[in-house]
Amino acid sequence: MSDYHPDKWVVVKITGKDYPPLYKVFACWYGGWAGADSWKLNSGITRVISSDNHYEFEGSSGSVYFCSKTEYGTNHYGRGILNNLIDKIEKSGGTCVVLPEETNFLEIEYD
């Protein structure tokens, strides 16, 4: 099990005709001076805990994403990756939408 602290993040809802909606964290990190930007898509949200400053998104793999409430969105690199992911899902007959920032993540049924 791993803990992740992304620089930027969004929640996506992925749907298909043969399975129920799946919610995932799409996380982005800035590479900084000597590194490259990166991204990660979690295994699927199973539970959310809210604190004053962040959400803790628990994934089906056991990983936890600690996401700052003030950093909803993607970086430029992440936006390109996410757009490609959305296109691939739509070409396979599914949908993938980024949930609005004002979404109450605690009210979603993740099962």
What percent of the chain has a predicted confidence (pLDDT) above 70?
100
| Digit-coded pLDDT (tens) for 33-76 | 878 899 999 999 999 999 999 999 999 999 999 999 999 999 99
- The residues spanned by each domain of the chain are 3-98
DSSP-based three-state secondary structure for 1? coil
pLDDT of residue 4: 97
What is the pTM for the complete model shown? 0.94
pLDDT range class, residue 1, cuts 50, 70, 90: confident
Burial of 91 (0-12, 13-18, 19+ CB in 10 A): exposed
